[in-house]
Amino acid sequence: MNTNSQWCKELASAAHEYCLLIEDLERLDEGLLERLSRLLPRIHAAVMALDNAAMANYPRAEGPDLDRRFELYDRLHRMLGDRDGYLLEYDSYEDISGVSGSLADDFTDIYFELRKGLDLMSGQPDGLHRAVMYWYGGYLWHWGQHLVDAERHLYDLQVHRKLGPIASYSSYHN
Task: Give average pLDDT by consecutive 10-residue segment, the chain, 174 residues.
Answer: 76 96 78 92 94 64 78 93 82 55 95 94 87 90 94 93 64 43
Return d(Cα 46, Cα 121) in angstroms, integer: 17
DSSP-H helix ranges across 24-143: 32-49, 66-80, 103-121, 127-138
Domain borders along the chain are 2-57+83-172
Quick one: pLDDT at residue 99?
57
**Rounded to an integer, what is the distance from CA 68 to the centroid of its chain?**
16
Return d(Cα 56, Cα 92) in angstroms, integer: 37
Quick one: pLDDT at residue 172?
43
Cα dihedral across residues 134, 52, 140, 15: positive or negative = positive
Is the domain defined by 2-57+83-172 classed in CATH 1.20.120.1550?
yes
User: What amino acid occupies position 72?
Assistant: L
Residues linked to residue 86 through DSSP beta bridges, in sequence order: 101
